[in-house]
Amino acid sequence: MHITDARHFLDDKGAIVPLRGRAKAMADFHAGVIACATKFDETGVTLPRCVKCKKGTVEAALAQDDAIVWHCPRCQAEGRISNWQGTLWDLSERPGAAS
């Protein structure tokens, strides 16, 4: 179980901190998971590839405590993302987001 705080990838102003290599891949992965969990029915938003096996397509959903949980059906990797609300990846409050 990967426990991630979304703010880990952001600076004080909410911008993505410069990352390279694996850290950047992890930031990109979590950005995709957050975007999908908050606006998963939007066309054009595709679930990211599993950060572990690179082949599975992860499933993301909001947990009852508002954390985002993701799960890879292929390798069974899973994780939780907290403190994602209000990040630039949070699509839930954008104009036009209502169905």
Residues that bind Zn ion (CB under 5 A): 50, 52-53, 56, 72, 74-75, 77
CB of 72 to Zn ion, least distance (A): 3
Q: Which is nearer to Zn ion, 31 or 51 (CB)?
A: 51
Q: Which is nearer to Zn ion, 32 or 90 (CB)?
A: 32
CB of 23 to Zn ion, least distance (A): 19
> Nearest residue by C-beta to Zn ion?
50
Rounded CA-CA distance 85/83 in Å is 6
Residue 42 near residue 48 (C-beta atoms within 8 A): no
CB of 10 to Zn ion, least distance (A): 25
